[in-house]
Structure 1
Amino acid sequence: MRPFFLCILSLFSMLLGFSPAYADKSASVLLYHRFGEDNIPSTNIRLEQFEAHIKILKEGGYHFMALTDAIAHLKEKRDFPERTVIITVDDAYKSVFTNGWPMLKAAGIPLAVFVSTDPVDSGSSNYMSWDEIRQLKEEGVEIAHHTASHLHMVHAGLEAAMADVRRASKRFEEELGEVPKIFAYPYGEHSLEIADAIQDEGFNAAFAQFSGAIAQWDNLYALPRFPVNERYGGENRFKLISQAMALPVSDIIPAEPLLSDTNNPPLFGFSVDENVRGPGALACYPSHLGKAADLVKPLDHRIEVRFDKPFPKGRSRINCTMPAGNGRWYWLGKFFLLPGGKLD
């Protein structure tokens, strides 16, 4: 959605009186990778962009929360302070240590870093060392689990994927004296089978990489995060996602994100909580379609998303948004994976 379109809809929502009734039930988790590595824009945030993000957060009435505390709020069904933001970083690149964390630390903003152990063990200058990771931990940064080899877990299969997870857990135990209890799927790729295995392994929660705010009604082992990079790091988008509110929904189908040729495109649907006013303003955007999908309402507050064009092979998403009032937006994301195609 274009910024101009967002502004018009925000004004429209205020005139119609949309009510942000669930403002304290959800929080925005932001996902970064690299800081100031301008030669890799797809996973990088420029330092001037990141400085602008921090300024917005510090001056915009936000509440900052550690990742473990946010998971505890979800598990215990506790409300979040309004405009709660959690900052996460994947992959343990060196620029987190040299650029990202020093800027956050100076601003008093907590951080969680999801670490894949093989790149750290490789000794590559592109990644932090174990000594640097230990230093971050001593300074209050939360270290979280991101497998050993950063593999495509669904493609590898359950047995190989979980062997990789356990190999990383052994390295965490050896280097940090404990195994992190919060997990992130590499590339955000997961299935119900893998999510169940991660839960059985003893993790408290697991994150993917599709857009949306975390909420009390979410599956703890398929939590959304808003990816942030150079292209999607402008101030307008940052304000939009950092104060996004999870659309309160139930009865989401399909539960399984894994697609095949027989259920592509998926029949995606959900029920919006009856306390949410104005669901007629909802729009849902499949990532490959280039426009909004058709919405069918078989029952009051029940939404069925329909489109004819199948998702391509690889990772896909549907983003559903609607105005929530006071310049804020409800957001619901859904991740899908059709195996095959190029792995990246």
Structure 2
Amino acid sequence: MISKQRRFNSVAAAAVLLLASGAVSADLAVLQYHHVSNETPASTSTTPSLFRNQIDMVQSLDIDVKPLESATKEALDGDLNESQQVAITFDDAYSSVYTFAAPLLLEKGLPFTIFVNSQAIDDQDRGSMTWEQLEELASHPEVTIGNHSLDHGHLARKPNEAEAQWHERVSHSLDASAARIEEKLGVTPTLFAYPYGEYDSELEKLIEDRQWLAYGQQSGPIGAQSAKTRLPRFPMATSFGQLSSLKDKLMSKALPVDAASLPDGIFKDNPPELRFSLPANMPTKALSCYGSGVGQLVVKSDEAEGAVMVTADRAFDSRRFRYNCTYPASEGRFYWQSVQWIDLSKPED
């Protein structure tokens, strides 16, 4: 078996060759939705008209819409070749997905994934689908059901939470939801979406032990350098999903950086420092990074270690924020890498 480091070295070498030749291979852009409605909270909603226009743009660009699991595995294996792909996901199984988004996608024969937090369905929380509606959707070959935890709780280990207590709490959330989905829908979920996109290295280990693929809410495409337990998605709420920037996201490439070597998002110093290495022929000066609510970030380089350091010039006051970095590629496309940071000292949602 090829070691992880050896595999990454070969991937990085391939990326250098692509950069030198001017060619840009394909990766997988995963789109993340919650509500598709004009009536729900703007921060987690995509208007129906924008959603339709987004899907129209995907099709007009002749990008293949693929099932999430198989496309993710192909992207991680570097098997997409020249065919850029997109996958469509919905978190929380909201009723607006059933009434508007799902019929549109099924009419077009496009596959999509719904991540279910099972307690909300059992409790019939306002705005959630029913098990009967999910069963109807799951009967279509285009639809995959994923796990989104039992109760959508924050799963990263809390400050001062004992390891054994955390392990019991989170294991129950992961496994009870998976069992409930299997009981009600007859499917065994192997795809997981982190509530709020929050994870830490201990949680990633639990995901790895279950041999699941896990998706966050940090933006960027999935490529051969991505990590199975921290897969990126592009949030598509109205404020993030405007058509003016959608093409860049759909056509983006994963920055040739070993995603498993990046921080898990838990930090001590505010603002945190993001540190990684670029291939030798990618000059640091072409890298642009931005932080949530603070604009452009300071980018420095350590030539002796071949490292790039990215940080904000002031502290953040929110529980979650992102560093988004892009790098120009040929054909007007961009390499993309993002980290979502979590300030565990801030209140939970």
TM class by shorter-chain length? Answer: 0.7 to 0.9
Using the alignment, how far apart are the partners of 2:105 and 2:216 within structure 1?
23
Using the alignment, how far apart are the partners of 1:255 and 1:39 within structure 2?
33
Which region of structure 1 is more displaced relative to structure 2, 187-196 or 37-46? 37-46
Shift of 1:21: 3.9
Preserved contact between residue 264 and residue 311 of structure 1 (Cα < 8 Å): yes
* Structure 2 stretches lacking a partner, 5+ long: 1-18, 159-165
Shift of 1:76: 3.6
Preserved contact between residue 255 and residue 337 of structure 2 (Cα < 8 Å): yes
Counterparts of 1:164-243 in structure 2, within 5 Å, are 164-200=173-209, 202-243=210-251
Which region of structure 1 is more displaced relative to structure 2, 68-77 or 206-215? 68-77
Closer/same/farther in 2, CA of residues 251 and 69 from structure 1, 3 Å limit: closer
Using the alignment, how far apart are the partners of 1:335 and 1:78 within structure 2?
27
Preserved contact between residue 252 and residue 269 of structure 1 (Cα < 8 Å): no
Match of 2:295, SS state, is coil
Preserved contact between residue 23 and residue 330 of structure 2 (Cα < 8 Å): no
Preserved contact between residue 297 and residue 312 of structure 2 (Cα < 8 Å): no
Residues 1:332 and 2:337 aligned together: yes
Q: CA RMSD in A?
A: 2.3
Residues 1:269 and 2:271 aligned together: no
Shift of 1:85: 0.7
Shift of 1:340: 2.3
User: Which residue identity does 1:212 align to in structure 2?
Assistant: G
Residues 1:292 and 2:301 aligned together: no
Shift of 1:323: 1.7
Using the alignment, how far apart are the partners of 1:120 and 1:292 within structure 2?
41
* Structure 1 stretches lacking a partner, 5+ long: 1-16
Preserved contact between residue 268 and residue 304 of structure 1 (Cα < 8 Å): yes
1:145 aligned partner: 147
Counterparts of 1:1-344 in structure 2, within 5 Å, are 21-24=23-26, 26-124=27-125, 126-140=127-141, 141-154=143-156, 157-200=166-209, 202-250=210-258, 254-260=262-268, 263-274=269-280, 277=282, 279-299=284-304, 302-344=307-349
Match of 1:48, SS state, is helix
Preserved contact between residue 314 and residue 338 of structure 1 (Cα < 8 Å): yes
Shift of 1:299: 4.6
Using the alignment, how far apart are the partners of 1:293 and 1:19 within structure 2?
30
May I ask how many residue pairs the two structures share in their alignment? 323
Using the alignment, how far apart are the partners of 1:168 and 1:87 within structure 2?
22
Which digits, 9 at most, give the CA deviation of each residue in 1:156-186, with x for residues without a partner? 6333122111111221121122320011100
Preserved contact between residue 62 and residue 85 of structure 1 (Cα < 8 Å): yes
TM-score (norm 2): 0.85
Match of 2:329, SS state, is strand
Shift of 1:198: 1.4
Which digits, 9 at most, give the CA deviation of each residue in 1:46-73, with x for residues without a partner? 1111111111111112111111112321
User: Which residue identity does 1:78 align to in structure 2?
Assistant: D
Using the alignment, how far apart are the partners of 2:76 and 2:331 within structure 1?
28
Preserved contact between residue 321 and residue 342 of structure 2 (Cα < 8 Å): yes
Using the alignment, how far apart are the partners of 1:96 and 1:214 within structure 2?
24
Using the alignment, how far apart are the partners of 2:49 and 2:315 within structure 1?
39
Preserved contact between residue 89 and residue 114 of structure 1 (Cα < 8 Å): yes
Preserved contact between residue 28 and residue 225 of structure 1 (Cα < 8 Å): yes
Which digits, 9 at most, give the CA deviation of each residue in 1:231-255, with x for residues without a partner? 1221112112111111111387553
Instruction: Give aligned-pair identity as a percent.
Output: 30
